[in-house]
Amino acid sequence: MAQQKCVSCYGELSPLDQGPECAACRRLSAQRKTWPASASGSTNAAEQPTLELSTGEGLSALGPGATEFHAGDRVTYFGDYELQGEIARAAWAWSTRLVRSA
């Protein structure tokens, strides 16, 4: 039987891993959910603007484990950057594939 892969990092899943993600990715996913407030320097979620995305932008190739951002989602800031959607995730085999917007 083929070795199962983590849907986020494509690394090998351990028999002890429960679910589609490895333990490290599960931990990081949980950590990332706390980003919007801390990365913007504000702890007041109500201050965060919402992300306006139109549909059908023609973007393609959403990879496994990627996250789509939708209209109404809260914007996440990282320093000078406003994150608008995850477009690729891999174990050292990075590429800039694009998100299919909602």
Partner 1 sequence: MGVVYKARQVSLNRTVALKMILAGTLANQADVERFRHEAEAAANLDHPGIVPVYEVGEHQGRHYFSMALVEGPSLAHRLREGPLAPRAAAELVRRSADAIQYAHSRGIIHRDLKPANILLAAGDEPKITDFGLAKRSSLAKPARSSGVGAGLADTRPWSA
Chain residues binding partner 1 by CB under 8 A are: 8-11, 24-25, 28, 31, 38-39, 59-61, 77-99
Q: How many CA atoms lie within 13 A of 7 on its CB side?
A: 12
Q: How far is the CB of 66 from partner 1 (least distance, A)?
A: 9
Q: How far is the CB of 64 from partner 1 (least distance, A)?
A: 13
Distance CA(45)–CA(37), nearest Å, equals: 6
Distance CA(63)–CA(12), nearest Å, equals: 17
Q: Which is nearer to partner 1, 49 or 72 (CB)?
A: 49
Q: How far is the CB of 90 from partner 1 (least distance, A)?
A: 6
Residue where the block lists tokens 């039987």: 1
Q: Which is nearer to partner 1, 44 or 96 (CB)?
A: 96
Q: Which is nearer to partner 1, 87 or 102 (CB)?
A: 87
